[in-house]
Structure 1
């Protein structure tokens, strides 16, 4: 509601729409029907990253608030999981979900993103204290999440912000924001936006590979998307959010403008020196 609080009686669901390629239009949105309406009354897949299986099934990460947190209150104890869905061309139908990840860390796990590299599935998860990572053999049941670290043992420090994957056949990459001495003035340290290669065996970020994709200009750029566009390119898209806190009183663009931000939209094109063999489709003009 207007006070940034949950309003009693409202439900939250995972929403989707189907695109008609021939018509060039989107269908009316639908919600995924979950198996236990009471348990999953406050459940969604916002800011997550799905994985499509070869047989057409969809592995969709989601997170929910258990009913024990109480209606009408700021929720705690968010839990994350991955559901498997069937898609018949019109409807995305829940089939099952894997183990539920219940954290000991404050606030919980949410906005999880999924990918597969080699024979393993990888899940990166938002938390208030640090980002977390977990692995799975089947994409549904994951081991105990562990905090994201650099390869030298230092904490990554991706605080209260989503992370997403860019997956290449020759390497696994994480896109994220993190706290540091240079961005203490940015809300939740959500700028710059970084990319780095991941060591899939040690489950850590290789510090020397870290690069800034989008600069810190005073606005937050923590809500972003990633995708493989072709075998030659992957994109990261993000817009400057001209807000320096939560709530209407922080909607003061002038504060962000001091750093040079102007609500710009960025499309970062990552060009690979080797083709990404994980991309099955071909773009126009590609032989």
Structure 2
């Protein structure tokens, strides 16, 4: 299994990275399967550096804040109007997400077509499927195990398993019991680290580097820790130093455009 960081900027696109988007790949049945996890603002352009958009097998949206889902509207245009298909409709891409994902994304797309011409919103282009905490689903080589995490909206972290390896992506979250279940015995934890200790005092929104590392230590069996979702206004080294105070190994930081073997 391979992880490509398409975008990792926290809360909004930065000068060096789009907002959240991750491409997870694994070989199965003689071909490469492509799972896109989140598709935040600015990510659709960068994603095309790594694969043909027609090769997306499924999309998983951790939650419906714009920095994690908004470029699905751009992909809708590709799905519906790409002239390279010669008028042949695109294959519907499965999109897993929270309740009301289809309605919310159709509203975000807005005035593309009047309702009288497109009463089903984005449904003809995407096969929307609701994610449920604790209920796994399978796509090709991937088993995805979602868990509800601690964020102001319905939000999910997830454990993705393939090739005998496991990746945990926390999405946006503060400390919560679900992280222990999702992180335990994983090869790599990709963890929200948007806040800084002492500066950001709001609760129930994001982890700091220290709380991210503590969650991984408490879970047990985590082999690699990678910080992500760090906003452009943060000093990355502060987040790393916070995590190093707790985590016994190397503290990695997600970098846009990089691919990691899991």
TM-score for both structures, normalised by structure 1: 0.28
By percentage of residues, which structure has more strand?
1
Q: RCO greater where, 1 or 2, for CA within 8 Å and sep 6 or more?
A: 2
TM-score for both structures, normalised by structure 2: 0.30
